[in-house]
Amino acid sequence: MKAAVIHRRGGVPVYEDFPDPVPADGQVLIDVRAVAVENVDRAVAAGEHYTSTDPVYPLIPCFDGVGTLPDGTLVGFGNVRAPYGALAEKVAVDAYAPIPEGVEATLAPALATAFTGMAMRTAAGFQPGETVLVQGATGVAGRVALQIARLLGAGRVVATGRDDEALASSGADAVINTAVSDEDLRRAFVEAGPYDVVLDYLWGRPAEVLFRALTPESFAFAKPTRVVQIGESAGNAVTLRADSLRTSGVEVYGAAKGLSGAGMGEVYEQILAWTRSGELVFEREVVPLSDIESAWQRTDLRGKRLIVTP
């Protein structure tokens, strides 16, 4: 079969032949129809993600996607066993789930992008009328999160990023460009606040500056700010001063807080309902698997989710 194959740490996948997967007992062979390529997939393939500290090459990247069963049923699949991955013509998997009627193959993989945006409710207990800050709002997941904040009834939405044009078209009530000095950024955070919930797709320097901005300059009972840690595109570590927690009212949660099997099902149904009604829109760039080498390295997508089709 044809697949996207990575041969070394930090390498770019190339379109070439790879042995067909052989289903083990209990597995089923699926013809892949569409795969969403995300930042986490690049990190896993490069051995930079905590779930893949010692990958064995060659390997096929991406662990989930959408495909058809032998009878033609469209299903979502995941947990592909290394060295196999989803960016191939075929996968052998243990489990799969039917894709709901009316959801096309190239849209279905993008729906998972919305789960992180829903973390404002599942992890942080968001309530209608609250103010939401989306750190990294010009990326794919960040732009979806802005929509979700509105759909959940946010009273005010603030967006940060480095792309002025993308920020201007974000629809946020206030925007903050993070490509400024630390002091200018801190001041901008203060002026645009206060915030009830923060969805952080950046971490690193922007998070450090935000924590400083949330720290009162004098003793006060600060309004709580619930920060949900989701991504690390600006760095995977922060220096957190003690007073940032002691006097700011900041509470930090991981994006998986509050999720369960049943809870994920409810979230998915809500995402699906918004998508079917046209209230939630996923911008996509669909490319063939044969173009994976150039598509993997693209930096011009500007908030569109890359979808690869074999």
Reported as a single tens digit per residue, the pLDDT across 95-114 is 899 999 889 999 999 998 99
Tokens 């042995």 sit on residue: 19
Which residues have C-beta within 8 Å of that of residue 270, sequence separation ≥ 6?
A: 118
Which residues have C-beta within 8 Å of that of residue 226, sequence separation ≥ 6?
A: 123, 124, 125, 196, 197, 198, 251, 253
| Cβ–Cβ < 8 Å for 153, 132 | no
Mean pLDDT value across the chain: 93
**Burial zone of 302 (CB within 10 Å; 0-12 exposed, 13-18 middle, 19+ buried):** middle
Reported as a single tens digit per residue, the pLDDT across 215-229 is 887 766 667 899 999
C-alpha angle 167/307/76, rounded to 5°? 120
Entry pTM: 0.90
Q: Alpha-carbon distance 189 to 244, whole Å?
A: 14
Structure confidence at residue 102 (pLDDT): 87
Is beta strand 28-37 parallel, antiparallel or unpaired with respect to 65-68?
A: antiparallel
Structure confidence at residue 246 (pLDDT): 81
Handedness of CA 160, 164, 170, 173 (dihedral sign): positive
Strand partners, 97: 76
Structure confidence at residue 238 (pLDDT): 94
Strand partners, 244: none
Burial 257-275 (b: 16+ CB within 10 A, else e): ebbeeeeeeebbebbbebb
Q: Alpha-carbon distance 133 to 154, whole Å?
A: 10
- Domains, the chain, ranges and CATH? 2-107+282-309 (3.90.180.10), 114-254 (3.90.180.10)
Structure confidence at residue 52 (pLDDT): 64
Q: Alpha-carbon distance 137 to 135, whole Å?
A: 6
Tokens 């243990």 sit on residue: 94
Q: Long-range CB contacts (< 8 A, 24+ apart) of 16-23?
A: 18/58, 18/60, 18/88, 20/90, 21/84, 21/88, 21/90, 21/91, 21/92, 22/92, 23/92
**Burial zone of 285 (CB within 10 Å; 0-12 exposed, 13-18 middle, 19+ buried):** middle
Reported as a single tens digit per residue, the pLDDT across 19-50 is 999 999 999 999 999 999 988 888 777 777 66
pLDDT band, residue 254 (cuts 50/70/90): very high
**Burial zone of 183 (CB within 10 Å; 0-12 exposed, 13-18 middle, 19+ buried):** exposed
Q: Alpha-carbon distance 108 to 227, whole Å?
A: 28
**What DSSP designation does 13 have?**
P
Structure confidence at residue 175 (pLDDT): 98
| Cβ–Cβ < 8 Å for 281, 271 | no
Structure confidence at residue 53 (pLDDT): 63
| Cβ–Cβ < 8 Å for 266, 259 | no
